[in-house]
């Protein structure tokens, strides 16, 4: 299978079997985001204890890129510290905006690199991450 074919498989897998999808009971922060250009809508809920992202869930609808990216985002940051989550957001946004060679293994996220060729779709991929970033900012204000 070609690399692009493999990437398509990964995105399809996450969009048709999303991880951590649903509402989160006892969330500390809930944030909504939208990408009107494509019609993507995302709601990210997080629960943080002792500076650890204990649980993170998303709800939403939209294109497969936005939903797959949200699913990957939850896998990437769940169980990580808030600082690690912020780092992961920065790395992902960096990758999507053309920075080469992320500092560590991006795993499934590498499948989204192909989206960089389509600037409109970059917003689909980064929507859930930006929404998470805003949720973490809300958290630091409380």
Q: Which residues bind Zn ion (CB under 5 A)?
A: 38, 40, 62-63, 66, 124
Q: Is 35 exposed, middle or buried (0-12, 13-18, 19+ CB in 10 A)?
A: buried
Measured CA to CA, the distance from residue 71 to residue 80 in angstroms comes to: 15
Query: 40 vs 108, which CB is nearer to Zn ion?
Result: 40
**Residues counted in the chain:** 142
In angstroms, give the least distance from the CB of 86 to Zn ion: 24
Nearest distance from C-beta of residue 126 to Zn ion, angstroms:
10
């897998």: which residue's tokens? Answer: 13
Q: Which is nearer to Zn ion, 27 or 122 (CB)?
A: 122
Least gap, CB of 39 to Zn ion (angstroms) = 7
> Based on CB atoms, which residue is closest to Zn ion, 38 or 139?
38
Give the Cβ contact number of residue 124 at 10 Å. Answer: 25
């Amino acid at each position: 299978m070609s690399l692009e074919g493999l990437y398509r498989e990964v995105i399809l897998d996450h969009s048709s079997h999303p991880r951590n999808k649903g509402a989160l009971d006892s969330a500390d922060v809930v944030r909504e985001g939208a990408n009107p250009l494509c019609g993507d809508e995302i709601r990210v809920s997080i629960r943080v204890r002792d500076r650890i992202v204990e649980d993170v869930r998303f709800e939403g609808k939209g294109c497969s890129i936005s939903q797959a990216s949200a699913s990957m985002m939850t896998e990437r940051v769940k169980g990580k510290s808030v600082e690690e989550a912020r780092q992961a957001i920065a790395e992902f946004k960096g990758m999507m905006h053309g920075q080469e060679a992320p500092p560590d293994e991006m795993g499934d996220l590498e499948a989204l690199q192909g989206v960089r060729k389509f600037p409109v779709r970059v917003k689909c991929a980064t929507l859930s991450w930006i929404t998470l970033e805003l949720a973490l900012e809300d958290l630091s204000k409380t």
